[in-house]
Structure 1
Amino acid sequence: MKRHEARAKALQVLFQLDSTELSIEEAIEHVLEEQETNAFFEQLVRGTIEHKEKIDAALEEKLENWTLSRLPKIERTVLRLSVYELLYMQDAPERVVLNEAIELSKVYGDEKSSKFVNGVLSKFTH
């Protein structure tokens, strides 16, 4: 599984976990079906969940005129996944993480999603 696909699948798992009572394993199994998992995908999913409170606190600081609970679920999920990668994983350049988040927003969100996600995430980069 390439990294782009791993990010998309991780987004799907996290999105499901945000709206259902599934366990992490059930959500992963549902999204991957028969596909093999990999370490990058697992780290994205489990790390985002493990650090969710700190990620949400960091996001709340950067959101202007918004609260995390008011955000559309897809934007909230993309932001959580990307902030986890920016803050806790050092293996991809910031611009790659931002570009991936923008692409995921374009695919899964609406026409305004990518601009919003880009605006918020740009506050995490230096």
Structure 2
Amino acid sequence: MNRREARIKAFQVLFQMENHDITFEDAADFALEGAAIHEFTSELVRGVITYKDEIDKAISEQLVNWSLNRIASVERTLLRLAVYEIKYNETIPLKVSINEAVEIAKEYGEENSGKFINGVLSKIVSDE
């Protein structure tokens, strides 16, 4: 499994956890269809869970005329994932974290999801 696939699986696990109020283990079992969880996927999910309050604060500070709860689940989950990478994983270049989130948003989100994700993440990076 490459890192993009691991990110997609992390996104799917986090999405399941938030939208179905289930445990990490149950969400991982569902998203991975019983397969073993990749180390990078686990790191991303656990990181978002651990730093969720700080991540949500960083996202909320960049939203204009929006609240975090008004953002669609796909975009909110991808923003959390990317912000975790940007703020807490120094081994991943910022541009990679942003690009990966934008590309996954194009696949799983609405028509303008990629642009929205890019805009929010660019503002977060510029504040770093």
Q: TM-score, normalised by structure 2?
A: 0.95
Aligned residue number for residue 93 of structure 2: 93
State the distance in 2 between where 1:91 and 1:115 align: 25
Task: Please list every run of 5 or more consecutive structure 1 residues that lacks an aligned counterpart in the other structure.
Answer: none
Give the drift of 1:92. 1.1
Instruction: Report percent identity of matched pairs.
Output: 48
Aligned residue number for residue 24 of structure 2: 24
- The one-letter code sitting in structure 2 at the alignment partner of 1:18 is E
Stretch deviating more after TM superposition (73-82 or 29-38): 29-38
Q: How many residues in Structure 1 have an aligned counterpart in Structure 2?
A: 126
State the distance in 2 between where 1:21 and 1:101 align: 23
Q: Deviations over 1:47-91 (max 9, x none)?
A: 101111110011110111110000011110000000011000111
Poorly superposed stretches of 4+, deviation over 3 Å:
none
- The one-letter code sitting in structure 1 at the alignment partner of 2:49 is I
Q: Deviations over 1:73-120 (max 9, x none)?
A: 111000000001100011111111111000010000011100000000
Task: Please list every run of 5 or more consecutive structure 2 residues that lacks an aligned counterpart in the other structure.
Answer: none
**CA RMSD after TM alignment:** 0.9
